[in-house]
Amino acid sequence: MTPLGCFSSLLDWRWITAALVFLVTYLLGRFYYCVSKYPKGPFPLPLVGNLLALRHVTDLHAKSTELSKIYGDVFTLWMAHRPMVMLNSYAVIREALVDRRHDFAGRFPTRTGALQNEGNHDIVFEDYNPYWRALRKVVVRYAASESLEHHCADIVDTFADSLGEGPQMMDFRKPIFSMFCKVTGAAVYGTRLHDSYIESLEDINRRFYQISPNGLPSDIAPFLAILYYKKEKKMAALFRELRELIQSLFSKAEATYVPGSTDNFTHAMLAAREEAIKEDRADAQYLTKPNMILATMNIFNAGTNTSTATFQWMLLRIAKEHGIQERIQKEIEDNIGSVPPAYGDREKLPFTEACLLETLRMHPAAPLGLPHNTTTDTRVGKWDVPKDTGLWYNIYKVHRDPQQWENPEEFRPERFLDPVTGKVSSDIGPLITFGQGTRCCPGEKLAHMDMFYLLVRVMQRLTVSVPSGVSDVNWNGKGSSVFLHPARQNFVFTRRS
């Protein structure tokens, strides 16, 4: 090669190197300029954001609480290239979800949601749009039934009668999950689920947790879908299996539908669609059968998985603290005796109701809620938040904030009782287990009714205790950064005479 050729080749490499340096510098500058638009938080790296720092974190709500001491109540975590604003006080959560409810009403888009819905629409993963509004309107109107009291009593009685004489030790989670499946199945589909259905649901839940307890990696970094192809394929297969099971329940309920009937939630949705079509309303186009099936699945899952977790935490408290159990049982005996509870009995059983509220405070099933997304450029606190920004709100921290609650680490149901009247106070404080604002859980009333009916009937029929020789229960939550439920452990159930 001639000297001129060597010089030309060297010049080419210098141009290439200079171009690469310029490109990298430009991309870095662009990334950190973007970072500067968001509330300050841990320093993110290009491409991976804060993922390396979070790779060993199992309780994101606890980590968020820790970071809030450094960065304040509002800060940003970068999940690869996607910003997630973390809210860690009741004031900023209320500002975002109530005062600016429409600005923060979007749903953070995830691969998990896309796999579940397969192009259809629900109320959990759906963004803030006409589909979501039409479905939620029906759910809010019909997702409650005060006629469940007899179902709850029968289900608890069946379990209690199946126990032998004397103390019976078992994993307490299984019968509780079965109870909620049967109660919620009756409310949503008008049928009490067979044990085979419940076993299938348990198996599906177990496999979901084994595959990915925190959702899919591609939920926060879409490019990871390529690396985790097998995991996503397994998840998609599980969602298909779950949809087929739910579709069979929906079809059975649909077959018994009489025009105008609202005997159960499925019938109510079918009646709402009929009404919308008859009145030629625009929302009729959104109430398609696939969408209604997904909406019933949303309510059913909320009524089983999250309510089950809360009720299990309640039983942990009852088993450990016999004084609370005895006080609940005495209140029930003094006010309604052995008669199955009715919805109106809540006012007669304020301490029992307060125990449920205190459990919801100390053990929120979803400690960070479900992630929202901003629908427009907005603000929270002193910070600007751009459109299409993800948001988590730290329910766990708010519920254990000493500025909001006296001795927040103590289980004290009395905090919800009026010291003068002894009734449940009209102001129960910043209890946000079911969310706030536009996207608060539409099944809150149904869940609360189910838990009340079941708790009262369980206390009428059974005494719950820890096994002999066990000094304490396992308070460590098992689950993920998304849902938190008690670890597996055995309890003793004894029928009351």
Binding residues for heme are: 441
Going by the annotation, the residues of the binding site are: 441
- Coil vs helix vs strand at 391: strand
Q: Of 478, 371, 464, whose CA–CA distance to 96 is shortest?
A: 371
Q: Alpha-carbon distance 160 to 325, whole Å?
A: 17
Q: Of 399, 396, 397, 393, whose CA–CA distance to 370 is shortest?
A: 393
Q: What DSSP string describes 14-76?
A: HHHHHHHHHHHHHHHHHHHHHHTTS---SPPBTTTBTHHHHTT-S-HHHHHHHHHHHH-SEEE
Q: Of 142, 121, 145, 149, whose CA–CA distance to 342 is shortest?
A: 149
Phi/psi for 465 (5° steps) reads -150, 165
Q: Alpha-carbon distance 266 to 277, whole Å?
A: 17
Which residues lie across from 485 on neighbouring strands? 478
Phi/psi for 168 (5° steps) reads -125, 120
Region of residue 438 (left: phi > 0; alpha: psi -120 to 50; beta: else): alpha
9 Cβ neighbours under 8 A, 6+ residues apart: 1
> Residue 120: how many CA atoms within 13 Å on its side-chain side?
17
Identify the DSSP state of 440.
S
Using the structure block, give the residue that is written with the tokens 């004397």: 166
